[in-house]
Amino acid sequence: MNILLQQPTIIAPNTVYHLKQYDILIQNGIITAIDSSLHNTDAKIVKAHNYYLSIGWLDVGTQVGEPGLEHREDLESVSKAAMAGGFTAIASFPNTRPAIHSRTEVNYLKHFSADRLIDIFPIGAVSKNCKGEEMAELYDMHDAGAVAFSDGKHSVQHILLLTKALQYVKAFDGLIINYPNQSNLASDGQMHEGAISTQLGLPGIPSIAEEMAIQRDLTLLEYTNAKLHFHNISTATSVEIIRAAKAKGLNVSASVAIMNLVLTDETLLDFDTNYKVLPPLRELSDVEALKNGLKEGVIDFITTHHTPLEVEAKAVEFPYASFGAIGLETAYALSNMHLGTEISQEQLVQWWAYHPRKRLGLAIPEISVGSLANLTLFDSNATWVYEEDSIQSKSKNSPFIGQTFRGKVVAVFNKGKWMSFL
Amino acid sequence: MPTIQELSTPHLLGIKYLSEDDIQLILETTDNFKEVLNRPIKKVPSLRDLTIANLFFENSTRTKLSFELAEKRLSADVINFAASSSSVSKGETLIDTVNNILAMKVDMVVMRHPAPGAAHFLAKNINANIINAGDGTHEHPTQALLDAYSIREKMGDLIGKKVVIVGDILHSRVALSNIFCLQKLGATVKVCGPPTLIPKYVTTLGVTVEHDIRKALAWCDVANLLRIQLERQTVKYFPSLREYALFYGVNKKMLDELDKKIVIMHPGPINRGVEVTSEVADSEHSIILSQVENGVAVRMAVLYLLATKRGK
């Protein structure tokens, strides 16, 4: 299949094409020509003069459901959801049944994505079954293609295990990802502890549950001199702690979930369980600090925090509902709408495509003649309504259904395949 | 006097969601029903076309009795459902349970449930008027209304009155509803108890905090002593009931030392000798039994007003 993209604005920093409009010819999955005007009678023509073109985006920490939780999501459905959201790759979390905790499960995911558009980069479990007790076979998983190690939604609480894991992966320059949460401080918490939780009579999750976990993990990081990423921080103080740790020279990075960047705990005033997520939605001052932290480079990238859940886990009384919301298909539009007009599309692409790959040590696709076409084509001005019927994910647990968004993915390209959403 | 003729809402989910006018209307209407309750024939036909389901997913004696009596005095048909939350959560969902009951053509639902927000959940998902009879640690609106009514009855008005709520504020729906209700009616509210039982952000509700019971009593016109809810505590918030009674319990000597006469309230059931000594509970300071009596009239008023709105 040959495709001729006519005149998209190319986002490819450090190239001559950057922020300019060119025709791009893709033949059999390879970029074969980039020029001011191209003609090819065999190619499907895509008029793209209103669109941006960047390398394909990557989401870190996606919950994929398969194996074992296919009633929520399977690899096929999560792939469709990812593509609709502009992602040509996901680095998936290991919270499946069984967990992704040995070579076998890593191979299962790699095998699935081998001949598909989407690249699935498995994040292997730090501990067997993500239970936080016994170290999983990290080296073997690394050898099989695991790109990092994390117990995913389960924060590693066992200090000795975390210390040993940080040390052990140094043999192959591995990265540990931890969701920072001191679980016994947040034990029965249902939402951010603050004025709103007080009004609603709901047990709170104090900000210090996250901040203490970060302090503790940074102490271990300094001791082990290893590499650590904090998955989805949510408080203003967390930003400051990480800023100081980076200034000190520690090899630490952090991400923030898109919902935590754009929403506050006030959304819970009506007990809507679709806003019940972890880390919890916090206060406006936290949201502002997270945005600033992102703009200043303290926070390295954004995640969709895609957490599919069946309706039975959400359409229940608030305290009985599970934490999480789907996010792949709405993430770009939210980032496009809520991060301020001073944020350029180039900056968004840095957060959605370049920074996550850099941190995971993955090869960064290029937009150049001769390169494999791993691309996302998107329209930053298109408005659209997020309809439940259009959701590609098997689960529909999103608080945004029915809302109008600005910014839409037009097409994705990877491994000789393309998917258009025109 | 209320300036409105009907409530602004089809449900009573919490005091938070009522206007001051709504509350005044309920209190005025309660006056009428209190008069009914003192007649030789204590029954009126107002709700004779309606069927009300009392769903109690959490233990209750007095609230359930009070609602049932109020419903019967209004001539409603009444059905009762009681289940421990654990047996329900293991099997049928709340929506299914309630829809099954509604399929029997029930018009209004009175529900007590251990989950904060459960009444909201029901109001969003089923077609009936919902009255929250206590949802976990969130709200217990009819208790706050009957407390406000009882204070008003005793003291004339709430504007400028000082009310201290003593005890387990952290786990108390009564405290939360009382704070909202008293403030909307113009009273000033303080909370008092061990720091572990006071929510960290409680002052965002516009209340002040005191840990010394004697100072709190000296400040107030009314002391509302909450039941110590040992059943809601997952960890130890204080070492022993003995120590609680020593440092937060109210006894006669404390009241005698005050240079004024304050009113003592308790939502019940009382742990005699813990929150309050028997001597105080049974004294002239106490309006505890008036609260119980007023509870029926307040609930009649709420049921009547919601039913009136329903009819339109």
Q: What is the pLDDT of residues A305-337, one digit of tens each?
A: 999 999 999 999 999 999 999 999 999 999 999
Single pTM value for the model: 0.94
Beta carbons of B116 and A188 less than 8 Å apart: no
Return the pLDDT at B85. Answer: 53
Provide the mean pLDDT of chain A: 97
Same domain, B156 and B275: yes
The answer to whether residue B152 sits within a structural domain is: yes
Return the pLDDT at B310. Answer: 80
Count of domains forming chain B: 2
Residue type, position B155, single letter: M
Residue B135 with chain A: CB contacts under 8 Å: 201
Same domain, B135 and B148: no
Return the pLDDT at A366. Answer: 98
- Write down the residue that tokens 């007649």 correspond to: B39
The CATH architecture to which A3-53+372-420 belongs is Roll (2.30)
Probe site for chain A from B57, B201, B234 (most A CB atoms < 10 A): B201
Same domain, B148 and B263: yes
Same domain, B73 and B107: yes
CATH of residue B299's domain is 3.40.50.1370
The answer to whether residue B48 sits within a structural domain is: yes
Residue ranges, comma separated, of all CATH 3.20.20.140 domains in chain A are: 56-360
The answer to whether residue B2 sits within a structural domain is: no
Return the pLDDT at B279. Answer: 95
Return the pLDDT at A196. Answer: 98
pLDDT in tens, A118-137: 999 999 999 999 999 999 99
Question: In 3-state terms, what secondary structure has residue A292?
Answer: helix
The answer to whether residue B4 sits within a structural domain is: no
Nearest CB partner across the interface for B94, out of A187, A206, A317: A317
pLDDT exceeds 70 at position A12: yes
Q: Which fold has domain A56-360?
A: TIM Barrel (3.20.20)
Same domain, B201 and B224: yes
**Which region among A50-64, A174-188, A338-352, B227-241 has the lowest average model confidence (pLDDT)?**
B227-241
The answer to whether residue B147 sits within a structural domain is: yes
Residue B306 backbone dihedrals phi, psi, to 5 degrees: -70, -35
Return the pLDDT at A186. Answer: 80
ipTM: 0.91
Probe site for chain A from B140, B204, B237 (most A CB atoms < 10 A): B204
The answer to whether residue B5 sits within a structural domain is: no
Same domain, B27 and B135: yes
Q: What is the percentage of chain B residues whose pLDDT exceeds 70?
A: 94
Structure tokens at B110: 């009175």
The answer to whether residue B248 sits within a structural domain is: yes
- Counting Cα atoms < 13 Å in the Cβ hemisphere of A220 gives 24
Residue span of the structural domain in which B46 resides: 15-139+293-307
Instruction: Characterise A122 by phi-psi region: left (phi > 0), alpha (psi -120 to 50), beta (else).
Output: beta
Full strand arrangement of the beta sheet holding A44-47: A30-35, A23-27, A2-6, A44-47
Distance CA B299, CA B76 (A): 13
Residue B120 with chain A: CB contacts under 8 Å: 270-271
pLDDT in tens, B138-183: 999 999 999 999 999 999 999 999 999 999 999 999 999 999 999 9
Return the pLDDT at B87. Answer: 53
Size of interface A-B (CB pairs under 8 A): 69
At residue A255 the predicted structure's pLDDT band, cuts being 50, 70 and 90, is very high
Residue ranges, comma separated, of all CATH 2.30.40.10 domains in chain A are: 3-53+372-420
